[in-house]
Chains A and B, each alone.
Chain A
Amino acid sequence: MTESKQTPDLLVEKLAAGQLSTAEETAVRQRLEAEDGLSRLDDIAQSNQDILNDYPVRQMAASIRERYAASTPQKSVAFKLFWTLAPVSAVAAAAAVVFMLAPSPVPSDPSETTSVGSVDPNYSDDSIRIKSGDPFLRIFKKNKTDEIEVKSGDKLAEGDVLQLKMITNHARSMVVCSVDGNGAVTLHYPERPAATTRVTELKSISLPYGYELDDAPDFERFFIVWTESETPIDAQQIIEKIKSMKHAAHDTPELSGAVKFKDIMVKK
């Protein structure tokens, strides 16, 4: 039942695709000759032509890219394919850096912090309090021994690992995402589009993972989107707004009045 009666399809496919070594190619050709099966190569050539006619390259490539892009926001965080788990100690150390660098720190009086809803427990809450001003995003590039804060316009490269931190100030709901030079949108906070976007006021939230830049060209533009109103932001809607921008590098996302944003764009 399991012995090869004829050359397996995979070997013939590899031969037809020119993916065998010279020795393997000779062996498979001899085998096909012996079983009078060289016509299988012609069949594959004809089938290739038929398939490319029936399912044209441009159409299929566009469809594949569309599927890939559609799956990216939902999976970007869940699968952590582009993410590298950051050691807890590094997050803690980074939290200390933010604490030292954060503008206008106020005394740590618990009464100043108002909880407005449940917060995603997967994200560390560094309990840093800032008295006034808009929420903001800080990005740190992780080196072997330390972290350097990244500013808009800085030049980064594929493989750089970034640590994101949000200072909530008076935001009650918040989303952090980024769009790259390929137009792919990655959701950073919350973890999933359907998860709560509510945040506690006057806090610093460190994402539990480092974000590794991939090979997308030109830029990665990070958005922190928030509202101070009671109505929480829908992360999926924000993803769609970012995706719908014609020029991802410089367009302004169309957000409703109560929803505000800031962005940091790094070059690649």
Chain B
Amino acid sequence: MAVDVEGYYTQFGPMVLRRCRHLLKDEEAAVDAMQDTFVQLLRYADRLDDEAPSSLLYRMATNVCLNKLRSAGRKHEDADTDLLQKIACAEVPEERFIAANLMNKLFAKHRESTRTIAVLHLLDRMTLQEVADEVGMSVSGVRKRLRPLKSQLAELQRSNLE
């Protein structure tokens, strides 16, 4: 499926930039992440299907921002940023092995990034049902994916308090 960059950007660019701004809290980094999100879209254009592009781009932008936060190791500015940074840096066992193909899998409707699921649920305050609807999983599947990450976040929280 060919990607009309102008068309996609006009329709979804502002949404992607808002998402990146919200997660990164830095205009320059957000614009950079927004462009990276569209580059990913072009790179995987042959795998696009009729899935709502807004949903796909929103999750891709989340994933791009998490990767940037992870590599930047930015300091915590508020509670949400703190949580986001922890999610970005948390070790998710299965993702160590699939990181290189994460976008690939996202497009192939395989496993959604656990970190992205965590952001939707823990930061965006979407219910388990809403997250499940969004990523095409069952509620129990989402809960199961979040379990190890949540316990790790709790542990990090405890160690920060000590």
Contacts and interface: CB of A to CB of B under 8 A. Distances in A.
Contacts of A61: 5-6, 9
Given A61-B9, A68-B42, A68-B43, A2 B122 contact: yes
Contacts of B38: 64
A10 B14 contact: no
Contact of A10 (B2, B43, B124, B128): B124
A14 B126 contact: no
Contact of B10 (A2, A57, A63): A57
Contact of B5 (A3, A51, A64, A81): A64
Contacts of B130: 4, 8, 11
Nearest to B40: A68
B55 A55 contact: no
Chain A contact residues: over half helix, strand or loop, or mixed? Answer: helix
B95 interface: no
A214 interface: yes
A250 interface: no
B15 interface: yes
A15 B18 CA distance: 15
Contacts of A214: 46
A19 B6 contact: no
Given A14-B52, A17-B54, A64-B35, A4 B17 contact: no
Interface residues of B, number: 39
Nearest to B32: A67
A214 B10 CA distance: 25
A9 B124 contact: yes
Nearest to B127: A4
Interface in A104-138: none
Contact of A5 (B6, B17, B120, B125): B125
A48 B54 CA distance: 14
Interface string A1-45: 111110011110110110100000000000000000000000010
Nearest to B1: A215
A15 B109 CA distance: 23
Which among A2, A8, A71, A81 has the greatest number of chain B C-beta atoms within 10 A? A2
Interface of A: 1-5, 8-11, 13-14, 16-17, 19, 44, 47-48, 51-52, 55, 57-58, 60-61, 63-65, 67-68, 71, 75, 79, 81-82, 214-215
25 contacts: A4-B125, A4-B127, A8-B125, A8-B130, A9-B124, A10-B55, A10-B120, A10-B124, A13-B54, A14-B55, A17-B11, A19-B53, A44-B18, A48-B14, A55-B17, A57-B6, A60-B13, A61-B6, A64-B5, A64-B35, A68-B39, A68-B43, A75-B43, A81-B44, A215-B46
Closest 4 CB pairs of A and B: A51-B14, A48-B14, A19-B52, A61-B5
Interface of B: 2, 5-6, 9-15, 17-19, 22, 31, 35-36, 38-39, 42-46, 52-55, 58, 120-122, 124-128, 130, 134
